[in-house]
């Protein structure tokens, strides 16, 4: 797989994430939280979800400081990439949990996170195959030292100064902010349920 191929993989990753999010959110229309609307439990889950989205968005931007524009040119093994080989995905899963938790249900949050993780397995394997073919023993040493997801904090490595691509960071941050659309989307869904415009097929905790 050449750099052009891996760029296509990255583009498909973003498309898969967006389409998966839309599909899973559509699935969530028929499912609601077990506890009463506007209850303390529902509000607590939604607040936890917002915190998870914020952490996911900021974490993705943090990763892009290190990986932006470098993935096909070198093995990035500093900062978040020193404790996890795929921290960008880890923060994406966290943000997707937060998206689902905006429904007021922990179960929906976990289903969204696990579903996206399952979908991305193929993308991760493609990226790992490219890195193994491109960097050989150097990548194998990195793979042995750092877990696929981790984190292994004892492996932390960093440098006082790194070169940053501001455009890549801004793009990753802008992409991540799309996760925040879950808050108004689920609020509208909740209002629609209250007015009886849509029903709930299943209640989950």
Nearest to 53 by CA among 24, 69, 61, 122: 61
**67-95 pLDDT, tens per residue?**
876 766 788 899 999 999 999 999 999 99
The beta strands (E) that lie in the chain are given as: 31-33, 202-204
DSSP 56-115: HHHHHHHHHHHHTTTTTTS---SGGGGT-S-HHHHHHHHHHHHHHHTTT-HHHHHHHHHH
pLDDT of residue 148: 93
Give yes or no for residue 12 having a pLDDT over 80: no
Give yes or no for residue 53 having a pLDDT over 60: yes
Cβ proximity of 22 and 95 under 8 Å: no
Of 111-125, 158-172, 177-191, which gets the smallest average pLDDT?
Answer: 177-191
Cβ proximity of 58 and 23 under 8 Å: no
The residue with greater pLDDT, 14 or 2, is 14
Q: How far, in Å, are 27, 57, 106, 137 from residue 109 at the CA level?
A: 12, 16, 5, 38
Cα–Cα dist 115/135, whole Å: 30
pLDDT of residue 97: 93
* Mean of per-residue pLDDT scores for the chain: 81
Phi, psi of 38 (to 5 degrees): 70, 15
Cα–Cα dist 47/56, whole Å: 14
pLDDT of residue 201: 61
The pLDDT > 70 percentage for the chain reads 74
């Amino acid at each position: 797989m050449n750099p052009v191929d891996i760029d296509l993989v990255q583009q498909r990753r973003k498309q898969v994430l967006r389409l998966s999010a839309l599909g899973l959110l559509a699935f969530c229309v028929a499912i609601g939280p077990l506890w009463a609307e506007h209850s303390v439990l529902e509000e607590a889950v939604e607040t936890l979800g917002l915190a998870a989205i914020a952490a996911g968005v900021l974490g993705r931007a943090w990763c892009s400081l290190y990986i932006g524009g470098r993935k096909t040119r070198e093995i990035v093994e500093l900062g978040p990439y020193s404790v996890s080989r795929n921290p960008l995905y880890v923060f994406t899963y966290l943000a997707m949990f937060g998206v689902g938790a905006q429904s007021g249900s922990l179960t929906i949050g976990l289903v969204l996170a696990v579903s996206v993780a399952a979908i991305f397995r193929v993308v991760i394997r493609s990226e790992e195959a490219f890195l193994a073919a491109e960097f050989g023993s150097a990548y194998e040493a990195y793979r042995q030292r750092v877990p696929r997801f981790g984190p292994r904090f004892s492996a932390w490595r960093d440098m006082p100064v790194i070169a940053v691509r501001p455009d890549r960071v801004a793009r990753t941050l802008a992409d991540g902010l799309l996760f925040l659309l879950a808050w108004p989307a689920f609020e509208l869904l909740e209002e629609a349920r209250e007015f009886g415009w849509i029903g709930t097929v299943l209640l989950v905790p």
